[in-house]
Copies of this chain bind each other. A is one copy, B any other.
């Protein structure tokens, strides 16, 4: 591939002149500019971003560290981030962690090597280790204690309470909650919000603990767990996210338990999967566009050296009623 030396040789001008022209860092005569641009076109030359990154410390890269892209909410969020950053002239380096602390730390080290200007960290499993990473960072869904890292998250605790209130209004009293892994701060808060709101009304929901998010390698995990319970005991179920709620709906359909007639079912996320199911899944919406925009806005405030005083940014959730409640 052509480099700046080739352009200098072909145009008969100095590397300094070419560099001034390409980076707009100083005077270049009109005649030289014309000549350089002609050679650039002829040689199909694209300026080297690595040289730029070294020269002005602006790598134009943001690191995106996500557990995986399998959960439709995460794949949609990643797509929106890519779109917003593209508009700002930034690219994304994508690293998946599969919720492993070790992989997350490896990813952060890697991104440091690429001198990314900022990092968006989804569902971090690290805490104090993040103090060492001296890169502007937004944590999505996990608060990082004793640290300056900004958290953006849906208000999962209130979202859990909204889930209870909706099911309660629909007449449900015998409640079941499918609870996400304890290490996921977001789903833990949904659980607490749900239980606290229920307890205030004197209701004690039953809980089924899930050790895992939706797992491609183990798509029928839910069946093995649920077969130990009698679903007919319940009239309302709140599941920690949409994709597991989709599995729950499939399970109930297979057991010929009618949704919403016999049991009302509620997910969390409002991912695109809700509208693909029948009946369509009612859910608590995490407003994905607002969340993505807030993450990017705050990240660039930090990148631009502004002080962000508020460390925790909670985005309000709301109920989206479809056909399962």
A contact set with B: CB distance below 8 Å: 1, 44, 46-51, 53-54, 59, 61, 64, 68-70, 72, 75-76, 78-79, 82-83, 86, 91-96, 109-110, 112-115, 132, 134-135, 214, 216, 219-220, 243, 246-247, 249-250, 253-254, 272-273, 275-278, 280
Contacts and interface: CB of A to CB of B under 8 A. Distances in A.
A272 B216 contact: yes
Nearest to A59: B50
Contacts of A76: 69-70, 216
B219 A272 contact: yes
Contact of A113 (B46, B79, B247, B249): B46
Contacts of A96: 79, 82-83, 86
Contact of A277 (B114, B132, B250, B275): B250
Closest 10 CB pairs of A and B: A253-B278, A75-B75, A50-B50, A50-B53, A69-B75, A246-B276, A46-B112, A49-B113, A250-B278, A94-B94
A142 to B, nearest CB: 20
B277 A50 contact: no
Given A1-B112, A91-B95, 18 more contacts: A44-B132, A46-B112, A47-B113, A48-B113, A50-B59, A61-B93, A64-B94, A82-B94, A82-B95, A91-B114, A92-B93, A216-B272, A219-B272, A243-B276, A250-B275, A250-B277, A273-B273, A277-B277
Count the copies.
2
B79 A69 contact: yes
Contact of A276 (B64, B68, B109, B273): B273
B219 A247 contact: no
A177 B46 CA distance: 45
A250 B92 contact: no
Contacts of A247: 275-276
A175 B63 CA distance: 47
Residue among A46, A68, A69, A276 with the highest chain B CB neighbour number at 10 A: A276
Given A95-B91, A114-B91, A273-B276, A51 B48 contact: no
Contacts of A110: 91
A3 to B, nearest CB: 10
